[in-house]
Chains A and B, each alone.
Chain A
Amino acid sequence: MKQRCIKIARSSFFCASVLIISALVLCVGLVKTVRAEEIVCIPCHSGLPEKFSAPVKLWQKSIHAENGIACNACHGGDPKDAANAMSPARGFLGVPKPADIPAFCGRCHVGVLKNFLASAHGRALGKGGPTCVTCHGNHRVLKVTLDLINEKTCSQCHTFERARKIRDAMAQTEARIVAIDNRISEFKKTGTDTEIVEKQLFSLRNGLHSLSHVLEETKLTAASTQIDADLTKIESSLNDLTSIHKIRKIAGVIVVSAMLMTALLLHLMRKTY
């Protein structure tokens, strides 16, 4: 009898271990995350002296990194072949000269480039005027806020007076855009489909920001009126969502109280037996 018990115990032990180990293999989370498209630039540059490794760290914090825009998107080259990664034959561009920077960035930011070149900033290109990186920085390019127009940056070249006017012309509309953006991301966290309003807002925000590069507050004020009207439309669709969510909360109060009520009735019923 005892032997049989041991035998059963042993075989169940075996079965359980097999099952558990295979389950663990399935279930356990692990630290190492895998980048699906590992580019060769990063491991190599990370190990180089400060001058060559700093861009990697800066880029990792940028909006470009967040959106999956890696080294080769701007600098060209072959990110999959370490030996020829920096070969001009593979389209490697390297570091642009200061005067070439607007054209370098403008390959993607087309609208901004056009407005920039037409502006006082653009006309002073190559004659001591600013380029994109003067205000936006280079590898650590962040999502823009109005704080980018500030006394410290602008007074590198001129007084803050005019820049302040431009900032003031944008301030109200920009604040609304930021507020709507926050509301949208709150909705997004609840699984609401915000794709359409997100795109609408992105386009409006992009319009305003790209226009700001013209450096003329009258144009900005005029455009703001149109943008404000479109923002009101977005806001009203968000208000509709808010009221739907409110109705769901009210329904929730009723449903949860009904459950508690039933539990109470069952409890009282139980006490009668």
Chain B
Amino acid sequence: MTLINRLIDWIDVRIGIREITRKELTGYLLPRNINSWYSLGSVLLVIFAIQVVSGILLLIYYVPDSGKAFKSVTDIMNVVPFGWLIRLCHAVGSNMMVLALLLHMLSVLFMGSYKSPRELNWMTGFILFVMVLGISLTGYLLPWSQLSFWATTVATNSANAIPVIGPSLVEFLRGGTLVGPPTLGRFFALHVGVIPAGIVILIAAHLFLLKRTGISTPPFGLNEANKPWQGESYRYEDHPGGIPFIPDYALEDLRSIFIYLACFLAVVFFDPSLFFPKEAFIPANAFITPAHIKPEWYFLANYQTLKIFPNEFIGLTVQGVAMTLLAVLPFIDRGRERHPLKRPLFMACSIGGILLWIGLTVWGHYS
């Protein structure tokens, strides 16, 4: 013990490690009425870390060549020791990441945490959401299965609905008139290089903004004496008398993380094919279109929206408008009230929106 203490002392006198611990960890106070929903951010950080580690491990055996990709993934699943585990963690993890992200957004929505002065936190979060969808979509192509190939064909094809530039945009996205080896090259670069780097930068920005504005107080239970921010000048929202991050809330974060891990590993071990239709294990064939190719569950609502409108451009525009409204929500919903039950109009709209999304997803699944 004394040796460890002396080591800490040695570091402390040089870089002031105790001061920073006091300030940022043990003395970092959070609202007393903070709840478990606030730990979803930490869960997401852990999910992202698992995706990065499993992704790097997969890169060791994966070959991004249209002639070899499917075989290399099959070998990872069957020949390489524990390859199945790493691959399933990565594939199931991507679905879980979208799910956790949706829950994180919902908690922010219902507790009104996106409201002024946290518009930038919301917008960086929203961009992260779009990037996670993008990384899922590009990753979908890499195993070069029938599912990969045709889901990507269908997804890139939707850009055709854009007037004038549509067809050339589709060709640009695919790197050719049809999905083929050039598409694999560019999607691979996006999936392992561009988008992960973007996500890391955005996570850094998101956390920086969180640190600068301070944690929002949940709208439930006790009312802090703080008078609301008026927009006159910068103010850090502190929580005197709150609970410390370490050890109190860190334990709650860890508890959520382990509950998440239990759910995640239960899927990996007991229902690994939950997110895999049978086309996922048939090599891509440009000459045979499978009968019922569907996008991943989180794109089903978009897919169904495009189907119900007579004109694809209208369908695409409706989605663009919906996504834009969601992105700039803090600028539309400017009321100070954050308690969900005191915001009947907001509640009606958001619950309606969620039901609509679920309805479209179910409809898309069974159509």
Contacts and interface: CB of A to CB of B under 8 A. Distances in A.
Interface in A190-207: 190-193
Interface residues of chain B: helix, strand, loop or mixed (majority): helix
Given A28-B302, A190-B272, A266-B258, A256 B287 contact: no
Interface stretch (A88-96, A99-107, A245-253): A245-253
A251 to B, nearest CB: 7
Interface stretch (B11-19, B58-66, B155-163): B155-163
B77 A191 contact: yes
Interface stretch (A18-26, A41-49, A220-228): A18-26
Given A28-B158, A252-B269, A192 B255 contact: no
A78 B248 CA distance: 75
Interface in A55-85: 66-68
A270 B316 contact: no
Contact of A248 (B155, B161, B269, B320): B269
Nearest to A253: B269
Given A20-B327, A34-B178, A189-B278, A260 B270 contact: no
Interface string A259-273: 110110011011001
A68 B18 CA distance: 69
B84 interface: yes
A19 B324 CA distance: 9
Given A29-B294, A30-B157, A13 B331 contact: yes
A32 interface: yes
B214 to A, nearest CB: 20
Interface in B268-285: 268-270, 272-273, 276, 278, 280-281, 285
B303 A23 contact: no
Contact of B302 (A29, A262, A267, A273): A29
Contacts of A188: 278, 281
A17 B320 contact: yes
B211 interface: no
A17 B324 CA distance: 6
A189 B331 contact: no
A26 B134 contact: yes
Interface residues of B, number: 75
Interface string B287-325: 111000111000110110011000010001001100110
A29 B154 contact: yes
A262 B157 contact: no
B234 to A, nearest CB: 13
A247 to B, nearest CB: 11
A263 B259 contact: yes
Nearest to B261: A259
Given A20-B324, A252-B270, A263-B259, A28 B155 contact: yes
Interface string B241-266: 00000011001101100110110011
A250 to B, nearest CB: 9
Interface in B328-343: 328, 331
Contact of B299 (A25, A28, A189): A28
Given A25-B162, A188-B278, A190-B273, A12 B289 contact: no
B73 to A, nearest CB: 8
A148 interface: no
A61 to B, nearest CB: 10
Contacts of A16: 123, 126-127, 324, 327-328
Please name the 9 residue pairs, one residue from A and one from B, whose CB atoms are nearest each other, closest first. Answer: A252-B269, A29-B295, A29-B303, A30-B158, A259-B262, A263-B258, A16-B327, A193-B78, A36-B286
Given A28-B316, A29-B158, 16 more contacts: A12-B328, A27-B130, A27-B137, A28-B299, A30-B312, A31-B303, A68-B287, A189-B276, A191-B77, A192-B77, A249-B270, A252-B266, A253-B269, A259-B258, A273-B247, A273-B251
23 contacts: A9-B328, A12-B119, A12-B328, A23-B130, A24-B320, A24-B323, A25-B158, A26-B137, A28-B303, A29-B299, A30-B155, A30-B161, A31-B303, A33-B154, A34-B157, A37-B287, A67-B288, A192-B78, A251-B269, A259-B259, A260-B262, A270-B255, A273-B248
